[in-house]
Amino acid sequence: MPTTSDQALENLAMLQDYRRAAFGKENADIIFGASVEAQEYAIRRNAIVYNDNLYAAQKGQLLKELNSDMWGDELTADADVPTYTRYQEKLQFYKEGYGRVAH
């Protein structure tokens, strides 16, 4: 089991490499590509949200950059996040021990 987001991303990449070896690159990317991208996004997003060394404003900026990096001008994955989930994440941004508020 991975203990860091970097390890989780490495495992995801190794899994996709295995799939590419088994099915061929084109087929594996067609079959599993969207799922891999969604899993990568979730891992990277959680690494930001749960980073207790960042201020809340920094987390918000990093999430914007993540969306831009991963989705560009396409619809962002954030569009599919339920309102309640967004609310809970905002609370997590400011939660004592998980996010600092700049003064």
How many structural domains is the chain composed of? 1
* Predicted TM-score of the model (pTM): 0.77
* Domain span including residue 41: 5-94
Residue 90 counted as domain residue: yes
Residue 100 counted as domain residue: no
Residues in contact with 28: Cβ distance below 8 Å, sequence separation at least 6, in sequence order: 16, 19, 20, 22
Residue 9 counted as domain residue: yes
| Tens digit of each residue's pLDDT (9 = 90 or more) over 22-35 | 999 999 999 999 99
- Which backbone phi and psi does 64 adopt, to 5 degrees? -60, -45
CA 43 to chain centre: 4
| Tens digit of each residue's pLDDT (9 = 90 or more) over 25-75 | 999 999 999 999 999 999 999 999 888 888 888 998 998 899 888 888 765
Residue 32 counted as domain residue: yes
Residue 14 counted as domain residue: yes
Q: How far apart are CA 79 and CA 77, in angstroms?
A: 5
Residue 11 counted as domain residue: yes
Residue 102 counted as domain residue: no
**Which of these ranges, 47-51, 56-60, 76-80, 87-91, has the smallest mean pLDDT?**
76-80
